[in-house]
Amino acid sequence: MLVWSRGGRVLLWTIFALVFVPVVLAPLAVLVLAAFAADWNGVLPGAYTGAHFGEALSGEEISSLSVSLQTAFLAGTAAVLTGTWGALAVRAAPRALRRIADAVLHLPVAVPSVVVGLGLLTAFSRPPIALNGTMWLVVIAHFVLVLAFAYSTVSAALDRTDPAFALVAGSLGASPWRVLWRVRVPMLLPSIAAAASLSLALSMGEVGATIMVYPASWRPLSVTVFTLTDRGRVFLASAETVVLLVVTVVILAGLAVATRRGAAKQR
């Protein structure tokens, strides 16, 4: 306990609420309200409608959501596999190489997403590999951007894992492959799921690199939201954003439940 008097604590909580509500809660609440607003000229919307959601879940908009999901799935899966592989391989490498590899795998975190997009656009718009105008540029951009996060999530979990488990398994006569497959990877599953969740969420909301490389035939939801905002269709944009958040949260919750079930089965 840091503050001992009841009065002091109540004062602190009041300030907390006064900061937290407008800074964190208000933007979320406003976005949801806007998604249902028919018109909005006063403090609260004048009338409510579900029409924006109807529009958000049909035609061009729904295909945009599907593009986002496919991109997130492809890029996320690749990033989680590569990140897990990398995290395991880094620990087997000699010391000097380990430091360099760790730095390189973390590197994309430090570079602006717009630059990642620009780089892909510059490098792959010409032979020998011309990918401009295809969905692959978008997928690759997302893969690069989420890989560092996936890697660092799994890597941090490996740092926390007691090496005794693998040693004991080895002492029981298990081959390195069996130790990897039956002991180390299962123990990493929660962090792999966390890496998958993070990759998915980041990919769903990515704008910077996407806006540099997307072709008209492969327009993810985040870019659609921007286009709508730019054209002044802010209510529809809000509804799209809410859809994006809900889909993300639902998938994350699903992953969390699946992991918990898996963990329960292990016990």
Which residues ranging from 59 to 88 are in contact with another protein (CB under 8 A)?
A: 82-83, 85-86, 88
Can residue 109 be called a binding residue for another protein (CB under 8 A)? yes
Nearest distance from residue 144's CB to another protein, in Å? 5
| Identified binder of another protein from the candidate list 56, 69, 74, 105, rule CB under 8 A | 105
Q: What angle do CA 109, 113, 117 make, to 5 degrees?
A: 130
> Torsions phi, psi of 47, nearest 5?
-150, 155
List the x/- string, 216-235, binding to another protein by CB under 8 A: ------x--xx--xx---x-
Nearest distance from residue 88's CB to another protein, in Å? 8
- In three-state form (DSSP H/G/I as H, E/B as E, the rest C), the secondary structure along 168-209 is HHHHCCCCHHHHHHHHHHHHHHHHHHHHHHHHHHHHHHCCHH
Q: Which amino acid is at 255?
A: L
Can residue 40 be called a binding residue for another protein (CB under 8 A)? yes
What CA dihedral angle connects 125, 126, 131 and 134, to 10 degrees?
60
Nearest distance from residue 241's CB to another protein, in Å? 5
| Identified binder of another protein from the candidate list 147, 157, 169, 183, rule CB under 8 A | 147
187, two tokens: 């123990």
45, two tokens: 């919307």
Nearest distance from residue 173's CB to another protein, in Å? 21
Can residue 189 be called a binding residue for another protein (CB under 8 A)? no
